[in-house]
Amino acid sequence: MATSRASFSLRRLLLGPPLPTVAMPHQTVGKFVGLAVFSSDALSSVAYATEEILVVLSVAGAAYFGLSIPIALAICGLLAILTASYRQTIFAYPSGGGAYIVARDNLGELAAQTAGAALMIDYILTVSVSVASGVAQIVSAFPRLAPIRVELALAMIAGMALVNLRGVRESGAVFAIPTYFFIVTMLGTIAFGLYRLLTGHLRTVADVPPVPATTGQALTLFLILRAFSSGSTALTGVEAISNGIQAFREPKSRNAAATMVWMSVLLATLFLGITVLAHHIRAVPAEDETVISQIARTVWGRGPLYLTTLTATTVILIMAANTSFADFPRLAALHAADGFLPRQFTIRGSRLVFSWGIVVLASVASLLVVIFRASVTHFIPLYAIGVYLSFTLSRAGMVVRWLKIGRLRPDEVVETKGSVLRYDPHWRWKLAINAVGAASTFVVMIVFAVTKFTSGAWIVTVLVPLLVWIFFRIHHHYEDVRRTLSLRDKPVRTEPAPVIHMVLVSDVNTASLEQIRFVRSLGVPWFGVHVAVDEAKAEVVRSRWERYVPDGTLIVLPSPFRDLVGPIREYVEALRARHPEAFIHVVMGQIVAEHFLEQALHQNATVIFALALRHIPGVAVTNVVFPLHAPQQAPAPHPAAAVASADE
């Protein structure tokens, strides 16, 4: 008791007081905080997207670096298509329109589970990658921290888990400042850089290793596509808002859609600005210095503003991981509610958040950080395929939805699981937007998978089907149980049955006499059972029994192999075989110590017995508890207890 109360207080200190269920609707955010909570993943991608384009182009030579600008423009075009497409989804699915729901509603369970599995893998990777990358930036600035980079990453994940376990409003307040800090700093850097460019004062970057103008390798279409797909990591995270509409204040859809547009405009501005500046300063992808750092020191010089820009970039990378803490638990709860993940994911904890999802996400991401020693390099090839797979499935789902709407009569209204279908005269145009979105994200995904297959993408191509298989196994089990427990079309058995009562004793002492007093109080025939693990001890038990329980029968079961549960299980199974209609009632005693550590000093055989007997139908196992340190005073009566006494 003392222990559980102490741990409860610690929990309260860390998480705050429990919130009643009626407090739920207030835990929402407005557009300003919502942008901070849901856009850090998308915005943080600009920290590496331009660099990734240049890395691919450098295979052909620095002469082709200028191609980065049309490629970035093409990616912004893709972003525009996705934004238009997702705005439709936000209004079509006001209670939350992530890839899982859209795919389930329009393409069926298999597509939905596939989209969900892909997204879950990506949410976990977002946490690992962003935290690892954030730590790498810190370590670049403070090399003395290098030996504890794994510990730093783990501490960050733990900190984020805690903030999110406290609830989304608090996490919004915590994360708004750094996100806006990044937006303001980066916009300032780009604006001042462009000002210096237009006034002719922007020089090229100094002290970077040169890249030959051409390397002799041809600039193929494949290479350009690869550069495009590498750069399109900039769009990871744009789906976050459509998953989290329910976290917004009313009117939810309108607020979420407006936030989505703002996020896309910001993302495109930052991405294009960084790409243009990188080209003009002749930035070069290098092992030891990021393109962002090269831009910042060329624009600001090596002063406090350079450090500020790097700090903001570091912080936004870490905050990006927080988007997953908002989305993963929500997605897991959706899967669980449909019976494809353990039901526990649907339970809201004391602070009204999906605690299980938060804890599982933090644990798996931490495990990956430990396994890969917090190295970004190992994660990158696994990252983004899942996102584009879910984009494709979700956009394809929207195409099917517009096809259905196109077939409706103008006054017809059809309700689906998450949406309402109404005729829309512009359905062909809207279908086209989504079809273009589906096709382009599909192409990006295929290019991604092909070019990075051997360096790690294959893991995801194995993992997604495996997860989908597990999801359907879980679903199958829940369906099985539902059918077994259902009372529909079944005869209800209510007639009483005979009950065979046995009292299991390891010794004759005050605890076992309490067990016997309980079964005596039932006023039924009964007998005692002792397993003779130790023959000498059995003799002592027999003689004590004769002295203290002269009116009861004691059966001593032999156990030549010193096995405690085997003889009991065989005995109960044999009784069952003789009396198939009867309940077998096994009464055990449990010595309860005050503290967990004291409890560990006892054999706790009741737990072992209960496990051994639980597969035998018709068995009822009773524990008569024997607290060693019983409270001296009885607590005050409970108001409902009066009802009970009336029924006795």
Tell me how far apart the alpha carbons of residues 458 and 561 are, in angstroms, rounded to a whole number: 51
Neighbouring residues of 408: CB distance < 8 A, sequence distance ≥ 6: 414, 421, 422, 423
Rg (CA), the chain: 32
Tell me how far apart the alpha carbons of residues 70 and 219 are, in angstroms, rounded to a whole number: 15
Asked whether the beta carbons of 588 and 606 are under 8 A apart, the reply is yes
- Residue 383 tokens read as 């990252």
Angle between helices 68-92 and 221-231 (to 10 degrees): 50
- Residue 159 tokens read as 């900190």
**Residue with Cβ nearer a copy of itself (14 or 497):** 497
Give CA 633 to chain center in angstroms.
45
SS3 634: coil
Neighbouring residues of 288: CB distance < 8 A, sequence distance ≥ 6: 140
Residue 154: CB minimum distance to a copy of itself, A: 17
Tell me how far apart the alpha carbons of residues 218 and 229 are, in angstroms, rounded to a whole number: 18
Nearest Cα residue to 18 out of 348, 350, 349, 347:
350
Residue 644: CB minimum distance to a copy of itself, A: 6
Neighbouring residues of 497: CB distance < 8 A, sequence distance ≥ 6: 581, 582, 583
Asked whether the beta carbons of 285 and 152 are under 8 A apart, the reply is no
Neighbouring residues of 36: CB distance < 8 A, sequence distance ≥ 6: 172, 175, 176, 179, 180
CA angle 174, 175, 181 (to 5 degrees): 115
Neighbouring residues of 17: CB distance < 8 A, sequence distance ≥ 6: none
**Residue with Cβ nearer a copy of itself (300 or 609):** 609
Asked whether the beta carbons of 394 and 239 are under 8 A apart, the reply is yes
Tell me how far apart the alpha carbons of residues 505 and 512 are, in angstroms, rounded to a whole number: 6
- Residue 464 tokens read as 């997604």
Tell me how far apart the alpha carbons of residues 94 and 379 are, in angstroms, rounded to a whole number: 34
First to last CA, the chain: 29
DSSP state, residue 456: I
Tell me how far apart the alpha carbons of residues 135 and 315 are, in angstroms, rounded to a whole number: 10
Neighbouring residues of 147: CB distance < 8 A, sequence distance ≥ 6: none
- Residue 558 tokens read as 């032999």
**Residue with Cβ nearer a copy of itself (20 or 147):** 20
Tell me how far apart the alpha carbons of residues 465 and 542 are, in angstroms, rounded to a whole number: 60
**Residue with Cβ nearer a copy of itself (412 or 480):** 480
